Amino acid sequence: MAGRTQPLGAIRWLGSGAAALVLALVPGTLAAVFLRAESTGAITASDWAAIRFTLIQAALSAAISVVLAVPLARALARRSFAGRRFLIALMGAPFILPVIVAVLGLLAIFGRNGLLNAALGALGLPAISIYGLPGVLLAHVFFNLPLATRLLLQGWAAIPAEHFRLASSLGFTPRHIFRWLELPMLRATLPGAFMVIFLICLTSFAVVLALGGGPRATTIELAIYQAFRFEFDLGKAAKLAALQFLVGAIAAAIALRFGRNALFGSGLDRTIERHDATGRITMLADAAIIITAAGFLLTPLLAIAVSGLQGIFALPATVWHSVMRSLLVALGATALTLALSLPLALLIATSRAHTPAISAVEAIGYLSLAASPLVIGTGLFIILFPLADPVALALPLTALVNAIMSLPFALRVLTPAIRDAEAAFGPLADSLGLFGRDRLRLFLLPRIRAPIGFTAGLAAALSMGDLGVIALFSAPGSATLPLQIYRLRAAYRVEDAAAAALLLLILSFALFWLFDKGGRTNART
Amino acid sequence: MKTSIFAAGFCAVATLAAAETPVLTVYTYDSFVSDWGPGPAVEKAFEEECGCDLQFVGTGDGAALLARLKLEGKRTPADIALGLDTNLMATAEESGLFAPLPEPRPALDLPVEWNNAFFQPFDWGYFAFVYDKTKVTSPPKSFRELAESDLRIVIQDPRSSTPGLGLLLWVKAAYGDEAGGIWEGLSDNIVTVTKGWSEAYGMFLEGEADMVLSYTTSPAYHLIAEKDDTKAAALFEEGHYMQIEVAGKIAGTDQPELADRFLAFMASDRFQSIIPTTNWMYPAKIPSGGLPDGFETLIRPAKALLLSPKEAGEIRDEALAEWLAALSR
């Protein structure tokens, strides 16, 4: 029965290889920056203030996102309506927008000169200002509420439909259902969702500064930036980046301690018949929740669309060239994300004993969330410069770094899906003697087609929208679409920039939709 | 896909053919190499006369450019660094990476004396607060008036942005020890502080603020490219801080003569006439054809403020501390 302990053989080696690559790219680049440093400044009082502010804003952003996601995911999980899937997908769009685009979209609604204040003014009410911590939280909830909702929807979908049927035949009230079915699921899912969003907000910087209203809103990432370019102090930048890692690692450890890994389904593809939620009031409440959330998430996107629509057909040819480049980078990053995340997820999910080694591999998969993009880019540069011309490799490097950045999300989706499939059908596959490549080809891959499609879509869209390391290595004629948007803005061409931003939004969404749909077509689930 | 493979093959052949022609590598900031910046026209013009291949490499902004050079050290493939400003020059000189400029140095048209052995200016501008004439009818005439007004401004963070640092030094150069007090007065006018110029200018155009820190030449873009004369820069009595953008020759260059030729070309009419409507700055030497129509409408500060590179280097940490203290309250 040697096969029982290692049902997938060679996958273990591939998974370990992927983990090693992440180690080289994330802590490896940090070490490279540290070793290259000549002098190292001390961490000052204002750095500690930055660390404190970073922790507060990230914790609040994550808490608000997951708390608001609970009613939204619940409403979406138990209602079916035309366009539900499209709405869920569209609500995810804020997550993939370049910072400057998202900020301007948000301000078109919530800014001093935005629609909301115009409406308040028309009603004779005083204007509101979002600048400060409220603005930071608003932006982070705008980015991350969709992600939290998706993660929780997976949780809801993983509660077997039979449980709801049984509950209804036992005469459970909605309160009972919450207590016995939904609460245990939330307890298992929420810490993980909180952790992911906390880590995303940890490294946020341009948004925090723009909406934070001033230097009170200084985050660790800005302090790293300052060390790099104001003080030219690589050692201090590396020190701060290490601190950022430490904070991320502590958060991850706490979250993993409290959140057991629930048996998530790949989910989302079905609404569950819920006899407890047919009452008129719950129906109206759900509708109100969905409409409010959609309004919050979609109006800024609509503002982006409106401001970009006029110029989109008059965009200069060079913008279309960068579209091609961005598509290639996105597809490359998608392939790399799958090549890294599948072996890693298989390694983690099919290990029958939860050894410290496996926990370590799982943690490595999340490392890039707490990494400073500036440190990764600079470290890569230091490592590559003696060997090759980093500028010539700008596009492949961008794809690689984008893939590493998508890895945590990929693992979050794939690992539970594989665990699920193994738990349900693994023994059957064992008894049929399906091991190694056959197990993968005949049993596992077909069962996780939908999550693979979702992962690919997410990776492609994230890569499409991310400025990434290209800004550090740009040569003429290698600009990706996000970089081109920044260049248009730097050249005062605001209308072209708005049109290019709309184009980016459409393309990212189309990529996501196609991959996600491709995964679900004929999926044997 | 086929075309890109073809293109890759074509490029490889082109590179082989070009192996004979010398290559001049110029590091600069990203917006210089963009399709809308001066880069493409400068490359074409210089290649027509040098019999060489001019290759630009873009990296972020001026500070990122210097960080990159310091990272690469003596092994840098760059022959020229173009796009540092006076605030970065002290650090750049200390790095020992730059060679003295060739003699004789070209005569320039700057509002201040220029006598630096390592760096040659290619354009310059004045920092200023830009506003919309249809919305702000009586713009402030000084920082004090701005602080007392209820006008709302967006500025850039000096820690991450070159104009942001320029504003910090502007207030310091104009007010010295009183700079902290000026910042305290301004703190309730500041809507927010952004990472870079693009975010701030975008927010101003969207109506989030009445004024934005930019350049006296910014209204020229709207006037010339968009036929929009509603934007103007406010003239401040205490004078306007200058940004002088410079280029220098890398000491370890393998193309010293070509680099010297490029520096001479940089002061030529051809190069200088590209600058005003691509970089939207003043050319370091007025080309024989003069400035483009529209530039005569711009405000001309009576007093140009500029700290020497040494002063700027010494004073900026203190100025940053004052800025942080005043705005973090």
Are A364 and A22 in contact, with CB atoms under 8 Å apart?
Answer: yes
Please write the tens of the pLDDT for every residue from B156-209.
999 989 999 999 999 999 999 999 999 999 999 999 999 999 999 999 999 999
Q: What is the per-residue pLDDT for A6?
A: 53
Residue B2 located in a structural domain: no
**A132-146, A248-262, B38-52, B213-227: segment of lowest average pLDDT:** A248-262
Of B34, B205, B208, the CB nearest to A494: B205
Is it the case that residue B124 has pLDDT exceeding 70?
A: yes
Indicate which CATH number applies to the domain containing B232.
3.40.190.10
Q: What is the ipTM of this complex?
A: 0.88
Of A406, A328, A472, nearest in space to B65 by CA: A472
B136 in contact with A, Cβ within 8 Å: no
B205 in contact with A, Cβ within 8 Å: yes
Are A213 and B72 in contact, with CB atoms under 8 Å apart?
Answer: no
Q: Residue B157 and residue A230: Cβ atoms within 8 Å?
A: no
What's the domain range around B66?
12-124+243-295
* Alpha-carbon distance B104 to nearest alpha carbon in chain A (angstroms): 32
Percent of chain B with pLDDT over 90: 84
A49-307 has which fold? MetI-like fold (1.10.3720)
Residues of chain A under the 70 pLDDT cut: 1-9, 256, 259-277, 352-354, 474-475, 521-525
Residue B51 located in a structural domain: yes
- Chain A hits for B197, CB-CB cut-off 8 Å, are 490
Round to whole Å and give the CA distance between B114 and B109.
10
Q: Are residues B110 and B176 in the same domain?
A: no
Sequence-distant (6+) residues with CB within 8 A of B247 are B80, B81, B82, B83, B84, B119, B120, B122, B263, B266
Pairing of strands B119-132, B304-305: unpaired
CA distances from A69 to A64, A191, A252, A337, A410 (A): 8, 13, 20, 27, 20
Residue B262 located in a structural domain: yes
Q: Say how many C-beta atoms besides its own lie within 10 A of residue A451's C-beta.
A: 30
Identical fold for domains A1-36+310-525 and A49-307, yes or no, is yes
Return contacts of B296-302, CB within 8 angstroms, 24+ apart: B297/B219, B297/B220, B297/B223, B297/B229, B298/B216, B298/B217, B298/B219, B298/B220, B298/B233, B299/B128, B299/B216, B299/B232, B299/B233, B299/B234, B299/B235, B300/B216, B301/B126, B301/B128, B301/B216, B301/B235, B301/B236, B301/B239, B301/B240, B302/B239
Give me Rg for the CA atoms of chain A: 23
Number of compact structural domains in chain B: 2
Of B35, B159, B201, the CB nearest to A226: B159
Give the chain B residue nearest A233 (alpha carbons): B67
Q: What is the per-residue pLDDT for A5?
A: 46
B256 in contact with A, Cβ within 8 Å: no
Are A436 and A483 in contact, with CB atoms under 8 Å apart?
Answer: no
Report CA torsion sign: A359, A360, A365, A367: positive
User: A interface mutation test: which of B193, B211, B227, B323 has the most A CBs within 10 A?
Assistant: B193
| Domain boundaries along the sequence of chain A | 1-36+310-525, 49-307
Are A411 and A345 in contact, with CB atoms under 8 Å apart?
Answer: yes
Q: Say how many C-beta atoms besides its own lie within 10 A of residue B261's C-beta.
A: 17
Of A131, A225, A385, the CB nearest to B192: A131
Total-model pTM: 0.88
Q: Are residues B207 and B235 in the same domain?
A: yes
Round to whole Å and give the CA distance between B170 and B159.
15
Q: What is the per-residue pLDDT for B19?
A: 56
Q: Which pair of tokens denotes residue A177?
A: 């259902």
Pairing of strands B153-156, B190-194: parallel
Q: Say how many C-beta atoms besides its own lie within 10 A of residue B5's C-beta.
A: 9
Q: Residue B34 and residue A46: Cβ atoms within 8 Å?
A: no
Q: What is the per-residue pLDDT for A133?
A: 93
Please write the tens of the pLDDT for every residue from B126-147.
999 999 999 999 999 999 999 9
B298-321 average pLDDT score: 93
Q: What is the per-residue pLDDT for B265?
A: 96
**Pairs of CB atoms within 8 A across A/B:** 164
Q: What is the per-residue pLDDT for B183?
A: 97
Of B157, B208, B323, the CB nearest to A112: B208
Round to whole Å and give the CA distance between A227 and A236.
6
Q: What is the per-residue pLDDT for A386?
A: 85
Q: What is the per-residue pLDDT for A119?
A: 94
Q: What are the backbone angles phi and psi of residue B283, rounded to the nearest 5°?
A: -70, 145
Of A457, A456, A459, A451, nearest in space to A402 by CA: A459
Please write the tens of the pLDDT for every residue from A231-270.
888 889 999 999 998 888 888 777 767 765 544 344 444 5
Q: Are residues B141 and B215 in the same domain?
A: yes
Is it the case that residue B248 has pLDDT exceeding 50?
A: yes
Q: What is the per-residue pLDDT for B4?
A: 47
Q: Are residues B284 and B322 in the same domain?
A: no
The residue type at A133: L
Architecture of domain A1-36+310-525: Orthogonal Bundle (1.10)
- Chain A hits for B186, CB-CB cut-off 8 Å, are none
Round to whole Å and give the CA distance between B49 and B171.
44
Q: What are the backbone angles phi and psi of residue B233, rounded to the nearest 5°?
A: -105, 140
B3 in contact with A, Cβ within 8 Å: no
Of B199, B218, B221, the CB nearest to A103: B199
User: B interface mutation test: which of A231, A232, A233 has the most B CBs within 10 A?
Assistant: A232
Give the model's confidence band at B6: pLDDT under 50 very low, under 70 low, under 90 confident, else very high: very low
Of B57, B91, B193, the CB nearest to A391: B57
B224 in contact with A, Cβ within 8 Å: no
Q: Residue B31 and residue A112: Cβ atoms within 8 Å?
A: no
Q: Are residues B262 and B196 in the same domain?
A: no
